[in-house]
Structure 1
Amino acid sequence: MIELVIFDCDGVLIDSEPIGVEVDRVAMAALGLPMSEQEIVERFVGLSQGAKTAALEQLLGRALPADWWEEYRPLHTRLTEERMTAVDGIAEALERIDLPSCVASNSSHRWLRRGLGLTGLYERFAGRIFSGAEDVPRGKPAPDLFLHAARTLGADPARCVVVEDSPHGLSAANAAGIPAFGYTGGVNSAARLAGPGRVLFDDMRELPKLLEEHVA
């Protein structure tokens, strides 16, 4: 029996990853680290802002100001307002999933309220939204966030499932001992998400049936 379905947010519920990648491409070029979209996906998608900053500092060989990203927030805000949608098929999937659920994302609570609100999904998860940037010492790929979500909601991690779209998130699920479903319809390929104990799928409309089969 599944006690809790733990959804990632960016790339699983809201189609925000292409927006973030575009803004990161502008930011990387300005920092003197021009990267292709694919390089950005491989290096940064799924990381918390703190982990991304640490990775950039290592690449640059110097420290960045704590507020370095604020220069690019207006661009991110504009693109979000213009382009943000829910992930294709997620609304239909959620209507068919009659199981306790929550959101556990490396993003901040501020962004989670914004992104889920713009796509009409916030009220569905209100009160059951967890941030790897703010609620635990370590975000994904550490297991802390998923274990915190399960513990807070009274679920046995072994009876939870995670729905993710990034290698970091799937690694966190593996480390937590939680079965994982990897969505390959976003910016990450099936090859990047494949691994032991992971069920891959490319259409959110398939998820309810996959959960039923997992129980069986």
Structure 2
Amino acid sequence: MTDRQSYSIIEAEAGFRLPKDHHEYVTAEITQRCRDNLKAVAGVHQALEAISLAKCVASSSDVEKLRVTLKITSLYDYFAPHVFSASQVARGKPAPDLFLFAAEKMNTPADRCVVIEDSVVGIQAAVAAGMMVIGFIGGSHCPPCHAEKLMEAGAIRIFSHMTALPRVLGGL
């Protein structure tokens, strides 16, 4: 879901309108906190170096937030210019639009794509797009029962350490 879509839900459920500058304020606050605290998941640089397949990012975050966070974590150069946002399609995850858009831009048939996802709605989107999806549970935001939820959503495998990703992909 895009930030703007989530704001609409918040407004509807809370019964009030957010200030007009809310998005800009939140974006600036998130950017500053990312600059101060954001770190790449352990082992991700090594994993990306070891994977020779074409790579992209297809995220619900807006394009600018993606650019900033990928640069802060020194991941941008692994993916650029193949960084895609839900703001570029009609419907965000769990709809398949974003993944299908990314596959088209990467000139790769959907059934030849492998998606690495850490969210249930992301896995649902990848499955709906006809893509193979592997669940990642190594993020600090993943609760103990997260693996089961990702498998129920359609992940074909689960891994918890980024250093295992090249081996997981090699086993497909």
TM-score normalised by L of structure 2: 0.89
Cα deviation, residue 145, structure 1: 0.6
- State, as a whole percentage, how many aligned pairs show the same letter: 40
Give the distance between the partners of 1:197 and 1:141, measured in 2 at CA.
12
Q: Which runs of 5+ in 2 are unaligned?
A: none
Q: State the AA in 1 paired with 2:101.
A: H
Answer with 114-123 or 70-79: which moved more: 70-79
Is 1:59 aligned with 2:13? yes
Give the distance between the partners of 2:44 and 2:105, measured in 1 at CA.
25
The residue number in structure 2 matching 1:117 is: 71
Is 1:82 aligned with 2:36? yes
Say how many residue pairs are matched.
167
Is 1:147 aligned with 2:100? yes
Cα deviation, residue 75, structure 1: 3.1
Map 1:1-216; keep pairs closer than 5 Å: 47-133=1-87, 135-186=88-139, 187-188=141-142, 189-195=146-152, 197-198=154-155, 199-214=157-172
Change (3 A) 1:129 1:73: closer
Mapped contact 2:2–2:60 kept (Cα < 8 A): yes
Secondary structure of the 2:56 match is: strand
Q: Which runs of 5+ in 1 are unaligned?
A: 1-46
Q: State the AA in 1 paired with 2:75.
A: L
Give the distance between the partners of 1:192 and 1:51, measured in 2 at CA.
24
Q: State the AA in 2 paired with 1:203.
A: H
Give the distance between the partners of 1:164 and 1:137, measured in 2 at CA.
20
**Structure number with higher relative contact order (C-alpha < 8 Å, ≥ 6 residues apart):** 1
Secondary structure of the 2:42 match is: coil
Secondary structure of the 1:101 match is: coil
Change (3 A) 1:195 1:60: same
Secondary structure of the 2:91 match is: coil
Q: State the AA in 1 paired with 2:100.
A: L
Answer with 189-198 or 147-156: which moved more: 189-198
